[in-house]
Amino acid sequence: MKKDAKIYIAGHRGLVGSAIKQDLEKKGYTNLIYKTHKELDLINTQEVATFFETEQPEYVFLAAAKVGGIIANNTYRADFIHANLMIQNNVIHQSYKSGVKKLLFLGSTCIYPKEAPQPMKENSLLTGPLEYTNEPYAIAKIAGIKMCESYNLQYGTNFLSVMPTNLYGYNDNFDLEKSHVLPALIRKMHLAKLLSEGKKEEVVKDLNVSAFAKAQETLKQYGVSDTSVEIWGTGAPRREFLWSQDMANACVFIMENTNFSDVKPSHGDVKNTHINIGTGEDISIKELAETIQKIVGFQGNLTFNTSKPDGTLRKLTDVSKLHALGWKHKIQLEEGIEKLYAWYLEKQ
Ligand SMILES: NC(=O)C1=CN([C@@H]2O[C@H](COP(=O)(O)OP(=O)(O)OC[C@H]3O[C@@H](n4cnc5c(N)ncnc54)[C@H](OP(=O)(O)O)[C@@H]3O)[C@@H](O)[C@H]2O)C=CC1
Ligand SMILES: C[C@H]1O[C@H](OP(=O)(O)OP(=O)(O)OC[C@H]2O[C@@H](n3cnc4c(=O)[nH]c(N)nc43)[C@H](O)[C@@H]2O)[C@@H](O)[C@@H](O)C1=O
């Protein structure tokens, strides 16, 4: 990839897209293009076609998607499958039509079967039933992998897919309902700490409500008090977490160094084009909550609301393919949580 190559980052304001943009800028890439959701709705086929015809990007990072945590995926099932299929169909097909040299599609490790052997290898794909809470999203992501693979095989394109583990970092979503576990627990612990210190005004400001009485309603709904924070599920599920800047660095590394032809024969996958991206290490949700509690400095108790779903019990990635390509993560979990909490405080 030449430093002045025209590179389109779809989703450049999101958790991963913003980190990809930053990583490319740091490396001296000068011809980056991007549009906000408002400027270009990637669900709109005609708008996407016109954009590619006009801009003719040479490389595409497809980091735009409808994304959310376990409850969002389980609740907005139709929106997750519709939006993700539309976005990826539009971007992948128009990339082929306009002669994009290389595209990187971001999937997710939720594409693997619920009971996949751990750690999950790339060739576990389509070997068993999926986790139900995020099945529509996972089906869309599997369609994206198969679309890249099919275009490569039929049209000779160079479209790769990466399957990231759970991610966290700057520009994360901290919504109490729709976000992923790590940012949600940082915010819940922070609010509980403020309550325990009697800082009502800061609680009102954080929740962006008109009065403390309103804040109390929200906090009750999410099980946050001055003495305890509610954790969804049993706390037993295990998750692997990767810092978003590491994720972005891996995406740029793969774009720079890897081709479909490298991924296919040399690693024994006859058909698939995808590569797992993770750390290869996981912890239980209970351990994660305790780590966040320590970093935030909340002194109260943790309670477990077992009426909320656990989701997949374990989804540890096998990162041997990624390591064999020459990439390894840098930021360890505690360091990442400390950085994210500091960022969250700064944003207040
Ligand atoms: N976060 C995670 O833990 C994981 C993420 N992934 C995958 O990584 C990729 C990036 O995720 P992440 O950065 O977390 O997601 P974010 O939600 O942070 O960012 C997604 C971006 O896509 C944009 N977008 C969504 N819909 C449209 C649309 N119709 N038209 C134009 N832009 C749109 C969003 O803009 P706006 O906000 O304005 O809608 C946002 O900027 C996704 O493919 C996701 O599935 C995979 C595994 C884990
Ligand atoms: C990245 C991945 O993210 C999603 O899958 P998930 O890993 O299950 O996502 P999650 O981060 O929301 O939850 C992880 C675990 O944590 C528990 N948990 C405890 N307390 C809170 C809590 O307060 N919020 C949330 N969200 N979860 C909590 C929660 O019950 C679960 O056991 C996919 O839908 C899909 O989008 C995908 O690809």
| pLDDT digits 0-9 by tens, 116-136 | 999 999 999 999 999 999 999
Tens-digit pLDDT profile for residues 187-234:
999 999 999 999 999 999 999 999 999 999 999 999 999 999 999 999
Residues in the annotated binding site for NADP(+): 11-17, 106-109, 141, 164-167, 180
Tens-digit pLDDT profile for residues 134-180:
999 999 999 999 999 999 989 999 999 999 999 999 999 999 999 99
pLDDT-based confidence at residue 33 (cuts at 50, 70, 90): very high
| Residue 265: predicted pLDDT | 56
Other C-beta atoms closer than 10 Å to the C-beta of 154 total: 9
Domain segments of the chain as ranges: 7-171+239-281+313-331
**Rounded mean pLDDT, 73-80:** 98
Closest ligand to 161 CA? Answer: 1
Looking at the DSSP assignment, which residues form a beta bridge with residue 159?
Answer: 103
Query: Does the C-beta of 110 come closer than 6 Å to ligand 2?
Result: yes
User: Residue 114 pLDDT more than 60?
Assistant: yes
Q: Which of 152, 185, 157, 160 is nearest to 305 (CA)?
A: 185
Tens-digit pLDDT profile for residues 296-321:
999 999 999 999 999 999 999 999 99
Residue nearest to atom 1 of ligand 2 (CA): 166
Residue nearest to atom 39 of ligand 1 (CA): 37
Tens-digit pLDDT profile for residues 224-271:
999 999 999 999 999 999 999 999 999 999 999 988 877 765 555 656
Is residue 250 a contact partner of residue 243, using CB atoms and an 8 Å limit?
no
Fold of 7-171+239-281+313-331: Rossmann fold (3.40.50)
Query: Does the C-beta of 215 come closer than 6 Å to ligand 1?
Result: no
| Residue 217: predicted pLDDT | 95
Q: What is the pTM of this model?
A: 0.96
Q: What percent of the chain has pLDDT over 90?
A: 94
User: Residue 273 pLDDT more than 90?
Assistant: no
Atom index in ligand 2 nearest the CA of residue 70 equals: 12
Closest ligand to 112 CA? Answer: 2
142: exposed, middle or buried (C-beta count within 10 Å: 0-12, 13-18, 19+)?
Answer: buried
| Residue 152: predicted pLDDT | 92
CA distances from 71 to 13, 21, 80, 167 (A): 23, 29, 12, 17
Residue nearest to atom 37 of ligand 2 (CA): 110
Closest ligand to 11 CA? Answer: 1
Query: Does the C-beta of 16 come closer than 6 Å to ligand 1?
Result: yes
| Residue 31: predicted pLDDT | 98
Average pLDDT of the chain to the nearest whole number: 96
Of the residues 112, 137, 168, 344, which is catalytic? Answer: 137
Query: Does the C-beta of 41 come closer than 6 Å to ligand 1?
Result: yes
Tell me whether residue 132 is one of the annotated catalytic residues. no
The answer, yes or no, to whether ipTM is higher than 0.95 is yes
CA 209/CA 203 separation, integer angstroms: 9
What distance in angstroms lies between residue 233's CA and the mean position of ligand 2's atoms?
10
Encoded amino acid at 238, one letter: R
